[in-house]
Amino acid sequence: MKKLLVLLLLAVVGYSLITAMMGVKFGENRLGDPQDEKTVSAYYLNNTTQKLSVSNVITAIVVNYRGLDTLGEVSVLFLASLGLGSILYRKHKEGEEEVAILKPSSQLLQAGSKLIFPAILMLGAYVFIHGHLTPGGGFQGGAIIATGFLLMMMAYQDYRVSHSVLVWVESLAGITFAGIGMWGLLLGNTFLENFLPIGTLNNLFSGGIIPIIYIAVGFKVAAELTGVLDTLLNIKDKH
Amino acid sequence: MDLDYNQIMSIGVYGSAIGLILIGLYAVLIKKHLTKIVIGLSIIDAGIHLLFIAIGYIKGGTAPIFSPAGEKIVANGGVMVDPVPQALVLTAIVIGFAVTAVALSLVIRLYRHHQTARIDQIKSLKW
Amino acid sequence: MMFEAIVIIILAVILLAAAVYAVMQKDLLYAVIATGVISLILSVFFFIMQAPDVALTEAAIGIALTTIVFIITIRNTSRREDEVPMDHEPDRNENDN
Amino acid sequence: MVVSPVHFIAVPLLAAFLIPLLAKVSKELVRIVPGLVIGYLSVVSVILMTQVVNTGQPIIEVIGGWSPPFGINLVFSAFTGFLVSLMTFMAFLIWIYSYRFKKIDDAPAQKYFILFMMLVTGSTGIVLTGDIFNLFVFMEITAIAAYSLTAFYRDRDGAEAAFKYLLIGSFASALMLLAIVLLYSQVGTLNMAEIAQRIHTVPQGMKITIFTLFVVGLGIEAEMFPLNGWAPDAYSQSPGPVGVAFAALVVKAGVYSLVRVVFTMFDIHGAYEFLIIMGAITMVIAEISALKQTNLKRMLAYSSIGQMGFVLIAFGIGTNAAVFGALFLMFNHAVIKGLLFMSGSYLVYNTPSKEIKDMAGIGKKLPMVSFFFALGALAIVGLPPFSGFWSKLYILMAAADASFYYLMGTILIVSIIEIVYYFRVMGRLYFGKPQNDVVLQKPTLGGIFAMGVLATVIIVIGIHPDFVTGFIQSAADTLLDKAGYINNVLQLTNL
């Protein structure tokens, strides 16, 4: 009975979505002529290189045009790592024997991880430092670094990322982001407004505050995701 | 019936996006295991993200990156795909991960408390 | 051009098959791996549709991190959807608080 | 430029990132700083509100130096400013109330206060932002903070309530994201003013699909029937102060966004009637459910849902007088429900079973708390001379003016149901025989202060409603002035 109702609902949803998508032609150019800037996207494509000197338009949108979204997004991750700690928190009881949830890994994985780990960190750092020039940026780089730490946690059972280092990195990166935003406000402009010289296109030092913010985001995301993984991996089974 | 490129692409991409949304919805509504429900939620999210990127795609467009190569394409009259959906999906993916992590931590806590992760076994979850 | 379309159709079929498998499979570990496959194909889709940034994000977060978080959860809870005990699961006699 | 609307978002976030470092200095700072931040924000909201009322012009804050629609903008108008002032004021009182709340001590307090502060930030952000995707992001901030806070206590069914909430909430945000996707495909913009300007170009079928997705997604946050299954559990299983925050902040933000979508963004015929019908169903079903509840907090939660149905009805009538009544009712609901949840929490803590029938005679054990509860109950059912009377009167008058006579009948019948179940509790409190005279938990000083302030507000507004009616009237005018909203936001583009 319930199944029938659900299938009916799915049919209704599917039908309305399909009819809705009939009106949206695939691959059609909806931006209009970039020159008359009828849509927001056309404006971005047209002006990013001159006004911000950033080659990756997506980075410009994420960090500057819609910077408030990114600030919110970073705080969502921050909240998730905080909430995870609060949800899974429990008092430590006396005489509790704890067993890690991961099984010991093979020698091969251990040796390999040690070798690959620095390379992953480098890749992650590269991705977020060049966020304004090439695909990638703070979120991608941060996630890559977090996978590096994950590899180490899986290879070595007793591998621990120092909690206080994570807190410091996370807080300082967050303060950098919000602080740069506030600095723009204090200079008499608006929140998150660019106040640095924008440099020349396709240089590493270009884009004003965008690379700085994206690097801060990279550190913050890396710390937050590592913190989430650390909290989850250290839930202990009692034996 | 002969289908042209656009029709094939729209069936392939829109079809898989809507399919993902419906399959995920089915899992959320029918399945009884908490982890399965969370899997359903992440499948719905995946479908919506795919739909959004598909809406921003322009046939023959390049990625919206003004690297020297990209600039050359634009200078020769090429178009770039819509960058806004990509930026928004970037945000949505990260938010989706955060929600998934919180959901799964709740699943772990419920399992510890009730020794089960099935909705029909946990009395206060029924409604 | 046509080649791209064929690739998309093949990927779409695999994608939907993986989604159905993820929903129907009773062993949650396999279901989670199937969601990883969904993310992988999604990431290829994003790449084909000229969204390299999103493809990178989906690859790092969707394939690696989400999957691992699911696997950790399954290790801490039950592995089978119908909760028939598996022989290698540790016994649990804890009560919370 | 000393204060600006962006402080509502930047300052709490800066503080939230700073608190983990401050925790290394002193544990007490973790409690104090969120309170200072929220107190600062309520001062800012008062300053900005007077500025807006004096000049008659909304403050449009541009982010990143990109004028709308290219950047995100915040709108602090008489309408949003009124809601933000209300929210920050309530949040500050909740902070005072929970400062020494006994049960928070045994769990990590650091997390509680940061999560609470982010809940406030998310809710004010929803109200302030002028961008639909930004609204989605703030909604997720609010939601994740709310899930974590619901599951905060370990000795209740908090995790169950939180999972239920999370399930429905993620569903809501998925629908909302889908709506944004479809909307973007049609209008190519995310700025609410520009959407409102271009919405008439969208084909009718598509418009209705998008509208339905929005209403269902936002209706979940606004506790609209039948999507309010999360509310009773979340209210009853979360810590006491968090229940207050849900009633005073989260639901208000949900109603705000629903109203913004219906009034400003879309121009669908029949949307108002739809609001009336959904509101009426929500109200009737919730009040009947409230009558059946034996658990005090669940009863309060259903009563809260019922009140939200009432608010939706008033918005659905759509005339200036009705919108005025609806906003007045939102104000009253925040204040009175706040008082009821605050005092109700102490009643519940002194009744181990949490059932209404076991609360007999608490009026003698905890005279202060019971007095506040009774005051709140009298005010919310709409008896003079309390503030609840005026909002009910204004809405009834507006309904009569618009000749919705059957609605007036429904509202009056529902009011009788309300009187029955609130008086039942009060009868228990004052005329029951106490089982013992052990007081399990006395109210803290901060708790009494917060409840006292709210009680004073209820009485003062009840005797002299003119203190707020001016603000509410300009808020109602601003909300109904759709062309003014579009102009004010988009005129910046041409500068």
Minimal-distance CA residue of chain D relative to A185: D1
Domain total in chain D: 1
Please tell me the predicted confidence (pLDDT) of residue D236.
Answer: 85
A77 touches B: beta carbon within 8 Å:
yes
Q: What is d(CA D343, CA D369) in angstroms, rounded to the nearest whole number?
A: 5
Q: Is the pLDDT of residue B45 over 90?
A: yes
Facing residue for D151 by CB, picked from B85, B99, B106 = B106
The size of the B-D interface in CB pairs under 8 A is: 76
Which site among D154, D156, D163 would you substitute to test the B interface, given the most B Cβ atoms closer than 10 Å to its Cβ?
D163
Q: Average pLDDT in the A125-152 region?
A: 90
pLDDT score at C39: 95
Q: What is the mean pLDDT of chain A?
A: 85
Partners of C94 on chain A (C-beta within 8 Å) are: 237-238
pLDDT the model gives residue D269: 82
Contact B86 C5 (CB under 8 A): no
Coil, strand, or helix at residue A104?
coil
Check whether C68 has a pLDDT greater than 80. yes
Average pLDDT, stretch A191-204? 82
> Are A62 and B66 an interchain contact pair (Cβ–Cβ within 8 Å)?
no
**Among all residues of chain C, which has the CA nearest to that of D153?**
C97
Helices (H), chain B: 5-30, 34-56, 68-75, 83-114
Q: Which chain D residues are closer than 8 Å to A65 by Cβ?
A: 64, 66, 70-72
B43 band by pLDDT with thresholds 50, 70 and 90? very high
* Residue D6, Cβ density class (10 Å: 0-12 exposed, 13-18 middle, ≥19 buried): buried
The stretches in chain D having pLDDT less than 70 are 1, 102-107, 437, 493-495
Name the residue ranges covered by the structural domains of chain A. Answer: 39-89+99-238
Site from B102, B122, B123 to mutate, D interface, most D CB atoms within 10 angstroms: B102
pLDDT of residue A94: 53
Stretch among A94-108, B48-62, C57-71, D9-23 having the lowest mean pLDDT:
A94-108
Q: Do A6 and B106 touch (CB under 8 A)?
A: no
Is D398 contained in some domain? yes
Reported ipTM: the value is 0.92
**What CATH architecture is B5-125?**
Orthogonal Bundle (1.10)
Closest CA to B102 of D171, A221, D147: D147
Domain ranges of chain B: 5-125
Q: Other C-beta atoms within 10 Å of A219: how many?
A: 22
A85-109 average pLDDT score: 69
**Residues within 8 A of A (CB atoms), D 358-387 only:** none
Cα distance between residue A22 and residue D288, in whole Å:
44
Dist CA B108 CA C76 (whole Å): 6
Per the structure block, which two tokens stand in for D382? 């709409």
According to DSSP, the residues that pair with D63 across neighbouring strands are A191
pLDDT at A200: 81
Helix B83-114 / helix D132-150 crossing angle, nearest 10 deg: 10
Q: What is the mean pLDDT of residues A48-70?
A: 88
pLDDT of residue D334: 92
Residue with tokens 């910077």: A67
Residue of D nearest to A61 (CA): D71
pLDDT for the residue D76:
92
* Reported confidence tier of residue C95, pLDDT bands at 50, 70, 90: very low
State the nearest Cα–Cα gap between A188 and chain C, in angstroms: 33
Q: What's the N-to-C CA distance of chain B in angstroms?
A: 49
The set of long-range contacts for B109-115, using a CB threshold of 8 Å and a minimum separation of 24, is: B109/A87, B109/A88, B109/C96, B109/D151, B109/D159, B110/B34, B110/D159, B110/D160, B110/D163, B111/B34, B111/C76, B111/C77, B111/C78, B112/C76, B112/C94, B112/C96, B113/C96, B113/D159, B115/C92
pLDDT value of residue C97: 39
CB contact under 8 A, C54 and B49: yes
**C-beta of residue D335 within 8 angstroms of C-beta of residue D391:** no
- The pLDDT value recorded for residue D84 is 94
Any idea which residue has 């939102």 for tokens?
A: D330
Identify residue D11 by its one-letter amino acid code: V
- pLDDT > 90? residue C67: yes
Is B86 in contact with C53 (Cβ distance < 8 A)? yes
Asked if D192 contacts D157 with a C-beta cutoff of 8 angstroms, the reply is no
- How far is the CA of D79 from the CAs of B106, C95, D76, in angstroms? 37, 50, 8
pLDDT at site D146: 93
Tens-place pLDDT, residues D21-62:
888 888 888 888 999 999 999 999 999 999 998 888 888 888
SS (H, E, C) chain D: CCCCCCHHHHHHHHHHHHHHHHHHHCHHHHHHHHHHHHHHHHHHHHHHHHHHHHHCCCEEEEECCCCCCCCCEEEECHHHHHHHHHHHHHHHHHHHHHCCCHHHHHCCHHHHHHHHHHHHHHHHHHHHECEHHHHHHHHHHHHHHHHHHHCCCCCCCHHHHHHHHHHHHHHHHHHHHHHHHHHHHHHCCCEHHHHHHHHHHCCHHHHHHHHHHHHHHHHHHCCCCCCCCHHHHHHHHCCHHHHHHHHHHHHHHHHHHHHHHHHHHCCCCCHHHHHHHHHHHHHHHHHHHHHHCCEHHHHHHHHHHHHHHHHHHHHHHCCHHHHHHHHHHHHHHHHHHHHHHHHHHHHHHCCCCCEHHHHCCHHHHCHHHHHHHHHHHHHHCCCCCCHHHHHHHHHHHHHHHCCCHHHHHHHHHHHHHHHHHHHHHHHHHHHCCCCCCCCCCCCCHHHHHHHHHHHHHHHHHHHCCHHHHHHHHHHHHHHHCHHHHHHHHHHHHHC
- Pick from C23, C57, C73: CB nearest B93: C57
**pLDDT tens profile B92-112:** 999 999 999 999 999 998 888
Q: Provide the pLDDT confidence category of residue A92 given band limits of 50, 70 and 90.
A: low
D69 upstream amide cis, omega within 30 of 0: yes
Predicted local distance difference test score (pLDDT) of residue A99: 54
When pLDDT is averaged across residues A94-103 and rounded to a whole number, the result is 56
pLDDT exceeds cutoff 50 at A113: yes
CB contact under 8 A, D155 and C96: no
Q: Which residues of D touch C97 (CB under 8 A)?
A: 154-155
Which domain does D292 fall in, by range?
Answer: 269-463
> What does the alpha-carbon distance between residue A150 and residue A88 come to, in Å, rounded to a whole number?
19
Cβ contacts (< 8 Å) between A97 and chain C: which residues?
A: none
